[in-house]
C-alpha cells in the first residue's frame, strides 16, 4: 500500500477560507494576524486582542471557530508552520527516506506532484491571476524579474517567454550589486516579479522593499508558507512545493508561469504573433538553428 502524505492547510489558508463566516470583531483579529503573519499569532492573547481592539474571549471564539482547541491550539499550529519553514534540507531528506515505501521514486514524485498541483490550484485566486495577466499586457509598463538560488530558473523561464511576446522585459541578473542600477529606473509604471521559496533569501527581501519604495507594482510567487516578501507585495501566488527529497519542488511554480504566459499571449494575439514572426525571420537569416524541412 502506498504511503501518501497529504498537504495540510496552513492557518492562513483556514483564515481566508472561513473569512466570510466571521463576525466583524473576528475579522479584525484576522486582519491583525495576516498583517504580520505568522509572528502576530505568537504574541499573548491579551496583546493580540488589544492590537485588534477586541476582547480576549473574541480571540478564543475565533480560534475555536477555525477548528482549533482554543488560542493555544492555534499557536501550536503556527509554531509547527515555522518549524516547517526553517527545517534544514538534510533533515527533510531524512524524513523523506523514512516515509518511503516499495514504489519507485518516480511514482512517489509523481504522486506528490499531482497533490502539489491540485493544492496550488485550490488556493489560487483566479481573479487575481487574470488581473496580473492583464497587467503584464500593458507594454507601457516595464517588467523586471528575479528569483532565488532555486527559483531563478523559473524566473528565467518566464523572462524567456515574456520577452518574445512583448518588449520591455528585463532580468535583473545574478549579482545583487548590479540591482541598484535597475532600481534607478523603477517608478510607478514598473512591474517587479520575484520568486522566493524557503529558505527565503534576504537579498530578495531587500530588493522587494526597495522596489516598492520606488513605486513598482510587486508580484510574488512563493510557497504555501509565504516568503516575508509577501508583506510588500501587491499580488501573491502561493504554491505547494514539498517533495520527497532534500529540495522543494518548483513544478507548481512552472504551472503558474506557463499558464500566465499563455494568458498574456491570448490577450496580446497580434503583437505576440508579429514579434514571433520577426524572431523566426531572424533565426532563418542567421541560420542559428538547423532546418529539417
pLDDT of residue 154: 96
Domain ranges of the chain: 11-86, 121-283
Contact 222/230 with Cβ under 8 angstroms? yes
Cell numbers representing residue 229 in the block? 516578501
Taking the C-alpha atoms of residue 210 and residue 144, their distance in angstroms, rounded to an integer, is 13
Contact 223/233 with Cβ under 8 angstroms? no
Query: Which of 155, 170, 166 lies closest to 254, judged by CA?
Result: 155
177-232 residue pLDDT tens: 999 999 999 999 999 999 999 889 999 999 999 999 999 999 999 998 889 999 88
Contact 152/146 with Cβ under 8 angstroms? yes
Instruction: Select the CATH number that applies to the domain covering 11-86 from these four: 1.10.1740.10, 3.30.70.920, 1.10.10.10, 1.10.760.10.
Output: 1.10.10.10
Domain range 121-283, CATH class: alpha beta
47-57 residue pLDDT tens: 999 998 999 99
Residues 6+ apart with CB under 8 A from 55: 25, 49
Contact 235/132 with Cβ under 8 angstroms? yes
**Of 26 and 82, the one with more pLDDT:** 26
Contact 188/234 with Cβ under 8 angstroms? no
29-77 residue pLDDT tens: 998 898 778 888 988 999 999 998 999 999 999 999 999 999 999 999 9
Given a cut of 60, whether residue 292 has pLDDT beyond it is no
11-86 and 121-283 share one CATH topology?
no
Backbone phi and psi for residue 131, each to the nearest 5 degrees, phi listed first: -60, -45
pTM: 0.66
Amino acid at each position: 500500500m502506498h504511503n501518501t502524505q497529504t498537504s495540510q492547510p496552513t492557518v492562513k489558508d483556514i483564515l481566508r477560507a472561513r473569512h466570510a463566516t466571521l463576525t466583524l470583531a473576528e475579522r479584525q483579529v484576522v486582519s491583525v494576524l495576516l498583517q504580520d503573519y505568522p509572528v502576530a499569532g505568537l504574541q499573548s492573547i491579551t496583546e493580540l486582542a488589544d492590537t485588534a481592539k477586541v476582547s480576549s474571549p473574541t480571540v478564543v471564539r475565533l480560534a475555536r471557530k477555525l477548528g482549533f482547541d482554543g488560542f493555544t491550539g492555534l499557536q501550536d499550529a503556527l509554531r509547527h508552520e515555522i518549524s516547517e519553514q526553517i527545517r534544514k534540507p538534510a533533515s527533510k531528506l531524512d524524513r523523506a527516506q523514512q516515509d518511503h515505501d516499495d514504489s519507485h521514486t518516480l511514482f512517489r514524485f509523481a504522486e506528490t506532484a499531482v497533490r502539489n498541483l491540485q493544492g496550488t490550484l485550490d488556493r489560487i485566486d483566479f481573479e487575481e491571476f487574470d488581473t496580473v495577466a492583464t497587467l503584464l499586457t500593458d507594454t507601457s509598463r516595464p517588467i523586471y524579474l528575479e528569483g532565488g538560488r532555486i527559483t531563478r530558473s523559473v524566473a528565467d523561464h518566464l523572462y524567456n517567454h515574456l520577452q518574445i511576446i512583448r518588449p520591455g522585459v528585463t532580468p535583473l541578473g545574478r549579482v545583487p550589486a548590479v540591482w541598484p542600477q535597475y532600481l534607478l529606473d523603477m517608478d510607478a509604471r514598473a512591474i517587479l516579479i520575484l520568486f522566493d521559496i524557503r529558505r527565503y533569501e534576504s537579498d530578495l527581501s531587500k530588493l522587494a522593499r526597495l522596489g516598492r519604495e520606488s513605486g513598482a507594482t510587486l508580484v510574488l510567487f512563493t510557497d504555501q508558507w509565504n516568503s516575508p516578501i509577501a508583506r510588500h507585495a501587491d499580488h501573491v501566488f502561493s504554491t505547494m512545493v514539498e517533495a520527497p527529497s532534500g529540495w522543494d519542488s518548483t513544478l507548481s511554480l512552472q504551472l503558474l508561469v506557463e499558464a500566465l504566459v499563455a494568458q498574456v499571449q491570448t490577450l496580446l494575439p497580434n503583437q505576440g504573433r508579429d514579434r514571433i514572426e520577426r524572431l523566426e525571420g531572424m533565426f532563418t537569416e542567421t541560420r542559428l538553428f538547423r532546418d529539417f524541412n
